[in-house]
Amino acid sequence: MPRDMVAREKMLLFFKSAGLLALLAVLLYLSARTILGLSGLGLFLIGGLIYLMVRLSGDAYFIPANARPLSRWEAPEVYRLLDLLSERAGIPQVPQLYLVPSPLMNALTTGPAERPVIVVTDTLLSSLPPRELAGVLAHEIAHIRNGDLTLFRMVEIVRQFTEMVSQAGWVLLVFFFFPFLLFARQVQPLSFFLFMVASPILSLLLALALQRTREFQADLTAAELTGDPQGLAMALYRITSPRYDILGALFPFGRSLRRLEREHSLFLSHPPTEERIRRLLSLRA
């Protein structure tokens, strides 16, 4: 893919991400205004902003319970890759590695942006050759470079707020049904019910769509960091290959579940692997 096409693809992904984030915020605003009214909306926005600042400044983040820190002397080659990729990405803090015992090959990035953590499974480290492992680590570092750690936390908070507004609507309806009918002149019943039922589902779909968009962006950034998009494409193929399909090996309906996920991609947090591989291979030129 020519360099100008890569730049155009990055710009399209950026605007798509910004549009989805704006839709999430608008959905939350309309839901709160419709369900809580203008006075309730003001109180909700003040409390929500305070909660948002506290959450984004906090250090709480998810690490699997059975994960343990992986030191440099245990995996010097892996940390050498991390050092090189972090330098290329312009990240001041090299991510800390955590190791999880698992038969699956997987990796995730978590933690605050200033102290990022990459969690990998032992099967991933033992199964992938260095070229493919570099692609996977570059993808995780790309999330850090692109600001996705903060973005994902913000999106999850907005989604939780939307669910809270919907739940508040159900409480109002159950406990204050007759006062609602008599005195809620500013509330249109049809809009009230529509937002109360549909807003949590729509917020979840928008959050998942945003996450899939950021995965495409991370793939593109990883290809720039390594200069080897085919390495990441090969790793993705190996991770999702039937030979490593633990779910399909243990349960007879495992492959049916994978097929169902492909057919209902709106509910996936990651894009279909076939599409990710196709886009990466188009970068080889």
Catalytic center residues = 140
One-letter identity of residue 144: I
Gap between the Cα atoms of 59 and 159, Å rounded: 20
- Contact status, residue 64 vs residue 42, Cβ threshold 8 Å: no
Q: Can you tell me whether residue 119 is helix, strand or coil?
A: strand
> What does 12-71 look like in DSSP terms, one character per residue?
HHHHHHHHHHHHHHHHHHHHHHHHHHHHHHHHHHHHHHHHHHHHHHS------TT-EE--
- How many residues comprise the chain? 285
- Contact status, residue 165 vs residue 203, Cβ threshold 8 Å: no
> What does 181-231 look like in DSSP terms, one character per residue?
HHH-TTS-HHHHHHHHHHHHHHHHHHHHHHHHHHHHHHHHHHHHHHS-HHH
Half-sphere exposure of 283 (CA within 13 A, CB side): 27
Q: What phi and psi values does residue 108 have, to the nearest 5 degrees?
A: -150, 155
C-alpha distances (whole Å) from 158 to each of 15, 20, 155 are 19, 12, 5
